[in-house]
């Protein structure tokens, strides 16, 4: 759904500092919601696609319009300093994934090079009968 897909790809449902993020999907697309938890409070999960059960948590990112389940749009329900903190978290998550992706690519390339050398050594060592 509009405003949900990009973030839903970055995060799994769970607590990230004071954020409780719900990253889900339904038949029409991805869903994404954020709650802010009180300082020092741990989230009480309520299933993979549901907001946490904490009574004092406040939803700050969620459905802003459309028909839920069909054409909903997502955005900030409340504006404040948490927006910048969330975008820092998202940027860090993207950077971490790029590092992991780069390391995986380097590992793959190293394995391919080692395989190539092994094959070449075997072929060079072959002697005709």
Q: Which residues contact 46 (CB under 8 A, 6 or more apart)?
A: 52, 53
Domains held by the chain: number: 1
**Is 0.85 surpassed by the pTM of this model?**
no
- Find where tokens 């549901």 sit: 50
Burial class (CB in 10 A: 0-12, 13-18, 19+), 25: middle
pLDDT in tens, 81-120: 999 999 999 999 998 877 777 777 888 888 898 999 999 9
Note whether 57 and 51 are within 8 A (CB).
yes
Report the run of H or E that residue 122 belongs to, with start and end: helix 81-125
**What are the tens digits of pLDDT across the range 47-61?**
888 999 999 999 999
Structure confidence by residue, pLDDT tens digits, 7-40: 988 999 999 999 999 998 887 789 999 999 999 9
| Domain of 85, in residue numbers | 5-125
């Amino acid at each position: 759904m509009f405003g949900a897909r990009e973030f839903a790809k970055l995060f799994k449902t769970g607590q990230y500092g004071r954020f409780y993020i719900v990253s889900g999907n339904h038949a029409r697309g991805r869903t994404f919601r954020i709650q802010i938890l009180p300082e020092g409070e741990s989230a009480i999960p309520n299933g993979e696609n549901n907001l946490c059960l904490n009574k004092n948590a406040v939803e700050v990112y969620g459905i802003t319009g459309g028909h839920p389940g069909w054409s909903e749009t997502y955005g900030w329900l409340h504006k404040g300093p948490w927006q910048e903190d969330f975008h820092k978290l998202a940027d860090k998550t993207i950077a971490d994934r790029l590092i992991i992706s780069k390391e995986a690519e380097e590992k793959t390339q190293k394995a391919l090079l080692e395989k190539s050398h092994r094959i070449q050594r075997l072929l060079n060592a072959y002697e005709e009968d």
